[in-house]
Chains A and B, each alone.
Chain A
Amino acid sequence: MNKETILKEIRESLVEMEEEKVVELCEKTLELNIPAYETITEGLIPGMDEVSRLYEEEEYFLPEVLVCSDVMNAGLDIVKPHLDKSSMQEPIKVVMGVVEGDTHDIGKNLVRIMMEASGMEVHDLGRDVPLERFIEKAEEVNADLIGMSTLMTTTMDGMKTVIDRLSERNIRNKYKILVGGGPISQNFADRIGADLYTKDASEAVRRVKEIFGRA
């Protein structure tokens, strides 16, 4: 089997949720000396891109997206140890969570999964996250980006509090701020001084890569 065929099969099997097949194919790439980097960037990631396209088009729903993301991770587990570190850029470091008072985390998790799928390093703080935690964690891991999610109008002002506190401490410019979730809009993001708003997970990944010049 040549490289093109095998990468194509990885993409297709991922979309078809065939975990064993993807694992097998990833093992085969190692036997064939296909660089792990290429398996990831031309097999697994484009496969997952296709999954998010199907999700946007309502061909796939959350159960399918979640299973595909597991399949991708199973593939990653095989090839990642063989990554030639020098071929890799430092990943974009993200601190991410659902703001205090809100426990809706399905959307945030989807954003995390898509970010991880595109190679970002995500520190997930979970849901109902005390506002101070976002700042603490970002400082601790030296993050590039703070992502905040909420689905409730009651809690959306928490995002502003985080941004204000960053400004008060003169560390606002160390981070890009990304916000999203049902009641959030571009207008709201502008008003609270966030750098970026996107309406869904795949757009978030595209735009974040763009602002960090990784598109």
Chain B
Amino acid sequence: MVPTIMQKRSNLTEKERLLKVLKGEAVDRPPVICPGGMMNASVTEVLKDIEENHNIDLDAMTAAAKAVREITGFENYGVPFDMTVESEPLGAKIDLGDKFIEPRVTEYNNKSIEDIIQNYKVNPRDSHRMGITIQAVEKLKNDEIPVIGNITGHISTATSIIDPLYALKMLRKDPDKIYRFFQFIHDYSKEYAVEMIRAGADIIAISDPTATGEILGAKNFERFAIPFYKDMIATIHQFHVPVIIHICGNANTIIDSLNDTGVDAVSFDSMVNMRFAKSKLTTRLMGNVNTQLLHTGEQGKIESITKNCMDSGVDIVSPACGLSMATSVKNLRAMTEFVKRGI
């Protein structure tokens, strides 16, 4: 077999490269990944040969994770493909999506926070899609390709279970009560993360879109988000597994507080200037190819934005946030192939 250019330059597996980067070690080029969860590449075009619903069926979920890597060129497996897995067992009604639309909450649980805390007990392994996702991780586990287990942050899960406006108001009106609710969600989410690690996840990625600095403000972010992230990350680190955290929106006001969380890499949205982020952060940086561009842009522009990202010093190249399911494979490949070709 004629060796490809890549094989000549390096014999790192995708897993070694990504894990080394997360430890801060030097590698030949940045990995290009799409972790899964909120930021997943199981777009309509990738799913065309998968029969069952990839959000519910174990085999379809595993097949979709593999198809994403094979078809788009992202260098990882990642499950699940949405962010309602954690809110489903708490009485939120979910439409489980299809090949065109992501799963989404159709009705919130309208019971009181106390009622929910008292009446629901979540055991991730037995909880519908958390259980399926854990099994999918088990099936995807392998030596060469990194498997990423994705979890939704406590604030996004809380605001998927109960009405977001009500929850946000509580931050002011009854901070202790909403804090208890966050704690309750955080506790079982932590068990879920640990179960994914036991099943073989190499990395855990957390995203918490409702917890942006823009929505909460820096003070609330520090009070209601950071302590839980810290605890989650410390727990995961006990298993020697690295953590990536994704922050949506303009993160300028909260960027400093991320240094204290112990996280291994932070992923930012496209409006964040990565050079600025780099100057502020001691962690690795992931990002941030604009998702609207990936959906509607031209290949040349995608390549030049990908190049910008690399030039600004990101350690891991990835989409800036959640992708539209209508994003084309061609556009995603423009990005992944550009990175693999090297600078």
Q: List, in ascending order, chain B residues with CB within 8 A of A152's CB.
A: 324
Q: Interface size of A by Cβ–Cβ distance < 8 Å?
A: 20
Cβ < 8 Å to B, chain A residues 94-151: 101, 103, 105-106, 109, 128
A113 to B169 CA separation, bound complex (whole angstroms) = 14
Of the stretches B124-132, B215-223, B232-240, the one at the interface is B215-223
Q: Is the CB of A103 within 8 A of B105?
A: yes
B: residues with CB less than 8 A from A are 95, 100-101, 104-106, 164-165, 168-169, 171-173, 210, 214-217, 220, 253, 291-292, 295-296, 324-326
Cβ < 8 Å to B, chain A residues 59-97: 60-64, 66-67, 70
Q: Is A153 an interface residue (CB 8 A)?
A: yes
Q: Is A22 an interface residue (CB 8 A)?
A: no
Of B101, B168, B210, B324, which one neighbours A153 at CB under 8 angstroms? Answer: B324
A84 to B324 CA separation, bound complex (whole angstroms) = 50
Of A58, A63, A128, A153, which one neighbours B172 at CB under 8 angstroms? Answer: A63
Q: Is the CB of B105 within 8 A of A153?
A: no
Of A66, A106, A154, A183, which one neighbours B325 at CB under 8 angstroms? Answer: A154
Q: List, in ascending order, chain A residues with CB within 8 A of B296's CB.
A: 153
Of B168, B292, B326, which one neighbours A62 at CB under 8 angstroms? Answer: B168
Q: Is the CB of A63 within 8 A of B169?
A: yes
Q: Is A162 an interface residue (CB 8 A)?
A: no
A152 to B322 CA separation, bound complex (whole angstroms) = 10
* Chain B, residue nearest A67 (CB): B172
Q: List, in ascending order, chain B residues with CB within 8 A of A61's CB.
A: 214-217, 220
Assuming the A-B contacts A61-B216, A63-B216, A128-B106, are A154 and B169 also in contact, with contact meaning beta carbons closer than 8 angstroms in the complex?
no
Q: Is A17 an interface residue (CB 8 A)?
A: yes
Q: Is the CB of A63 within 8 A of B101?
A: no
Q: Is the CB of A63 within 8 A of B326?
A: no
A66 to B216 CA separation, bound complex (whole angstroms) = 12
A153 to B295 CA separation, bound complex (whole angstroms) = 8
Assuming the A-B contacts A63-B220, A154-B325, are A103 and B104 also in contact, with contact meaning beta carbons closer than 8 angstroms in the complex?
yes
Q: List, in ascending order, chain B residues with CB within 8 A of A58's CB.
A: 217, 253
Q: Is the CB of A66 within 8 A of B104?
A: no
18 more CB-based (< 8 A) A-B contacts, given A63-B171, A63-B217, A70-B169:
A58-B253, A60-B217, A61-B214, A61-B216, A63-B168, A64-B217, A66-B168, A67-B173, A103-B104, A103-B105, A105-B164, A109-B165, A152-B324, A153-B291, A153-B295, A153-B296, A153-B326, A154-B326
Q: Is the CB of A101 within 8 A of B101?
A: yes
Q: List, in ascending order, chain B residues with CB within 8 A of A70's CB.
A: 169
Q: Is the CB of B324 within 8 A of A66?
A: no
What's the nearest-Cβ distance from chain B to residue A199, in Å?
14
A152 to B295 CA separation, bound complex (whole angstroms) = 11
Q: Is the CB of A183 within 8 A of B292?
A: yes
Q: List, in ascending order, chain A residues with CB within 8 A of B210's CB.
A: 106
* Chain A, residue nearest B325 (CB): A154
Q: List, in ascending order, chain A residues with CB within 8 A of B325's CB.
A: 154
Interchain residue pairs A-B with the least CB separation, the first 5: A61-B217, A154-B324, A63-B171, A103-B104, A66-B169
A119 to B106 CA separation, bound complex (whole angstroms) = 29
Q: List 13 A-B contacts (CB under 8 A).
A: A61-B220, A62-B168, A62-B216, A63-B216, A63-B217, A64-B172, A66-B168, A66-B172, A101-B100, A103-B105, A106-B215, A153-B326, A154-B324
Q: Is the CB of A17 within 8 A of B172?
A: yes
What's the nearest-Cβ distance from chain B to residue A47, in Å?
17
Q: List, in ascending order, chain A residues with CB within 8 A of B100's CB.
A: 101
Q: List, in ascending order, chain B residues with CB within 8 A of A66's CB.
A: 165, 168-169, 172
* Chain A, residue nearest B159 (CB): A106
Q: List, in ascending order, chain A residues with CB within 8 A of B171's CB.
A: 63
Q: List, in ascending order, chain A residues with CB within 8 A of B172's CB.
A: 17, 63-64, 66-67
* Chain B, residue nearest A59 (CB): B217
Q: List, in ascending order, chain A residues with CB within 8 A of B104's CB.
A: 103, 128
Q: List, in ascending order, chain B residues with CB within 8 A of A60's CB.
A: 217
Q: List, in ascending order, chain A residues with CB within 8 A of B291's CB.
A: 153
Q: List, in ascending order, chain B residues with CB within 8 A of A183's CB.
A: 292
What's the nearest-Cβ distance from chain A to residue B99, in Å?
12
What's the nearest-Cβ distance from chain B to residue A22, in Å?
15
Q: Is the CB of B215 within 8 A of A62?
A: yes
Q: List, in ascending order, chain B residues with CB within 8 A of A153's CB.
A: 291-292, 295-296, 324, 326
Determine which residue in A58, A62, A105 has the highest number of CB atoms from chain B within 10 A of its CB, and name it.
Answer: A62
Q: List, in ascending order, chain A residues with CB within 8 A of B215's CB.
A: 61-62, 106
* Chain B, residue nearest A103 (CB): B104
What's the nearest-Cβ distance from chain B to residue A129, in Å?
12
A154 to B106 CA separation, bound complex (whole angstroms) = 18
Cβ < 8 Å to B, chain A residues 1-24: 17
* Chain B, residue nearest A152 (CB): B324
A60 to B171 CA separation, bound complex (whole angstroms) = 13
Interface string of A37-70 (1 = CB under 8 A from B): 0000000000000000000001011111011001
Q: List, in ascending order, chain B residues with CB within 8 A of A105's CB.
A: 164
Of B101, B105, B164, which one neighbours A106 at CB under 8 angstroms? Answer: B164
